[in-house]
Amino acid sequence: MKKPVQAAIGLGIALLIVGPVVGLKVFQIGSLIAYAGEMEAAGMPPAAVATAPVETQSWGNTISAVGSLEPVQGVILSAELGGKVSEILVENGAAVAEGDVLVRLDTAAERASLASAEASLRLARINLDRAQGLFAGNTISKSEFDAAEAAHDQAAAVVVNLQSIIDRKTVRAPFAGRVGIRTVNLGQILRDGDPVIPLQALDPIYVNFSVPQRHVAQLAAGQTLRVTLPGLEAAVEGRVTAINPQLDAATRNVRVQGTLANPEERLRPGMFANILLSLPGEQEVLVVPQTAVLRAAYGDSVFVVEQKDGEVFARQQFVRLGRTRGDFVAVLSGLSPGQRVVAAGAHKLLNNQPVMIEGRPTVERAAILPNDAMQPPLSLEPRPANS
């Protein structure tokens, strides 16, 4: 008997807690329904809005993509052989020419060995010349002459080997560019392959990005690129220089590479870039201002301005949208040329609500009611004054 009693008590407590909340919500919903009914019966007041025409524009056939900048040539120079850093001949961030010496490692022992090897080479050269004269006079045998020649060649190889070791302990710029921040200091002991300093060639510079499979047939070397980067006001023009022959099997995208001029070195490897790739031909598209679109999880819509029985009202119309360009968005379905849509004030409208485009009910509210004339001009390439 205790369990049913406990269950009943728990249920009663739950009703005491939840009941007021549920009752309040029911009251609020009922009030809203009643208010909507009263508004519908009385007629909704007109809302002041601004409108824009649904128009047809010729858009260039373009592809938008994102990518990153990479150097035409870029390496992190390393020590080929181990040793102690004896000279640093370049400042961090300096421009260098091809072949410039950047860092030298200590080669005192190798130079001493080289001097000894060069002395041995001179002696071997003298012996070879003497043996050549004696062999010409048939004074020595061919084997003795061959031995003198082999001794000379061996001494010459030792000199070349030591000179190679000295050269490999000298870090030079393999191409012209700009060095970064070195990672070594005077007196530091390096091992084989330890990084020394980065070197990048910045002019020109590559931009790499990916394009979906459906556009591959339209790609070609030489096509125009327009690249915009955060932090830079002006866009940078470039050209497509390479297209990967194989698509990525996971994404079905093809890798494309463009080349950009960079004489002022404003563009740096690793920068994020927005790319607009121009393809052959143009497209006729139906467009509306982006501000006219009400985006929602269940679908995008606009309010179409219509006139019936002398009254202007806004009808909500669901649309299917395409790509955007500047202040406009392409409409793939749902609208027709010549219609007008609400461009400002759509967020406050209900379906089939009367609207007021130019009229103003009172002087006091005139300054805050938008109309068509007060709207800023729309552009395919907007350039705000304070950007």
Residue type, 249: A
Kindly give the residue spans of alpha helices, DSSP state H, lying in the chain: 2-42, 108-136, 142-168
83, containing H or E segment: strand 83-88
pLDDT tens for 323-367 read 787 788 888 888 888 888 888 877 887 888 888 775 443 333 333
pLDDT tens for 10-51 read 666 766 676 676 666 666 666 656 555 555 544 566 777 888
* 3-class secondary structure, 253: strand
Beta bridge partners of 314: 305, 353
Of 257 and 39, the one with more pLDDT? 257
Q: What value does the mean pLDDT take over residues 296-320? A: 85
Q: What value does the mean pLDDT take over residues 368-386? A: 57
* 3-class secondary structure, 25: helix
pLDDT tens for 136-159 read 777 778 888 788 889 888 888 988
Q: What value does the mean pLDDT take over residues 369-385? A: 58
Phi and psi at residue 377, in whole multiples of 5°? -65, 145
Residue-level pLDDT at 143: 85
The CA distance from 100 to 87, in Å, is 13
Per the CB < 8 A criterion, the answer to whether 284 and 241 are in contact is no
Which domains does the chain carry? Answer: 62-72+201-283 (2.40.30.170), 107-168 (1.10.287.470)
Confidence band of 369 (pLDDT split at 50, 70, 90)? very low
The CA distance from 48 to 344, in Å, is 9
Contacts of 94 (CB under 8 A, 6+ apart): 178, 179
pLDDT tens for 161-194 read 888 888 888 888 888 888 888 888 888 888 888 8
Per the CB < 8 A criterion, the answer to whether 247 and 192 are in contact is no
Residue whose C-alpha is closest to residue 72's, from 268, 274, 272, 225: 268
Confidence band of 73 (pLDDT split at 50, 70, 90)? confident
DSSP 169: T
Q: What value does the mean pLDDT take over residues 85-113? A: 86
Residue-level pLDDT at 266: 86
Whether the ω angle into residue 174 lies within 30 degrees of 0, i.e. cis, is no
User: What are the structure tokens assigned to 240, written together?
Assistant: 């497509």
Distance set, CA 88 to CA 103, 183, 184, 272 (Å): 5, 11, 9, 33
Tell me what the pLDDT averaged over the chain comes to: 80
Residue-level pLDDT at 377: 66
Q: What share of the chain is helix, strand, coil (3-state, %, to 5)?
A: 30, 40, 30
Q: Give percent of the chain above pLDDT 90.
A: 1
Q: Is the dihedral of CA 257, 263, 266, 268 positive or negative?
A: positive
**Mutual orientation of helices 142-168 and 108-136 as an angle, nearest 10°?**
160
DSSP 376: P
Residue-level pLDDT at 365: 36
